[in-house]
Structure 1
């Protein structure tokens, strides 16, 4: 629901900007710390004030984050100009790189799905004990000891 602006108001306070953008006030503060957004002014009471352009920028960030883009990817896209051909090329490169991350994550998720299906197939519930729990305990025993180097799936976000 849109928040009405009182006459003569010069900007939106953080709660209003949050309501207009769909980004929580906590995330707005976080994006400020990450230098993705900077309010343009402060009111007489020292509250941050956000413009319509700030609200648009927050919506843009929210959209990119909903597509699982990292803050660095969002930062790159925010720095581009709609009118420059070179920036279009940069945007394509950034999206291609993100698409690569997404495809890698899909491969990881497909592998996880196969592993979970195999684990589920260990037990049909008819034996005296649960083979799923037994298998999980056996896998836990095979885990490397604390402090040992371990491989972990890379996440770009």
Structure 2
């Protein structure tokens, strides 16, 4: 857990943000989500962060860059590097995330195919645009949302 700064710990939020690459707003959000808790406050009520906190912020940033959910990050943060059972939990968590990524990739490939087909409908030489025409047709074909009748209010 090293930092690349000559600034000694404890760090203010702006310093922790600069060292971790996580914005101050996101640091506050991660605190609210209980992924991080600062080590108290200074005399002037500034939040104080340690080298460990900066490392944890980098860890969170890395996991979020891999599109992990907050719950997945929370799970990984709660694991111990040296416990064999925690290794299995980490693998299970990543397997679940991989399944999510693979499903999303399939959705994106289907979207790509659909967009290519839509793009191929118009080469720009006709009097009107077949892409816009197709989008209007699709919009008209969307189902109309069903409005549920309001529940009868009773005074019992």
Taking structure 2 as the reference length, the TM-score comes to 0.89
- Number of corresponding residues: 146
- State yes or no: 1:88 paired with 2:87: yes
1:3 is displaced (CA, Å) by: 4.7
**If you compute each CA radius of gyration, which structure gives the higher value, 1 or 2?**
2
Are the aligned partners of 1:42 and 1:48 in contact in 2 as well (CA < 8 Å)? yes
Other-structure match for 1:142:
141
Provide the rounded CA distance (Å) in 2 between the counterparts of 1:147 and 1:116: 28
Other-structure match for 1:152:
none
1:5 is displaced (CA, Å) by: 2.2
Provide the rounded CA distance (Å) in 2 between the counterparts of 1:133 and 1:37: 48
Are the aligned partners of 1:3 and 1:19 in contact in 2 as well (CA < 8 Å)? no
Other-structure match for 1:42:
41
Q: Output aligned runs, 1:14-33, within 5 Å.
A: 14-33=13-32
Distance change >3 Å, CA 148–CA 86, structure 1 → 2: farther
Taking structure 1 as the reference length, the TM-score comes to 0.88
**Structure 1 stretches of 5 or more lacking a match?**
150-157
Superposed CA RMSD in Å reads 1.7
Are the aligned partners of 1:80 and 1:87 in contact in 2 as well (CA < 8 Å)? yes
Distance change >3 Å, CA 72–CA 111, structure 1 → 2: same
Provide the rounded CA distance (Å) in 1 between the counterparts of 2:99 and 2:109: 15
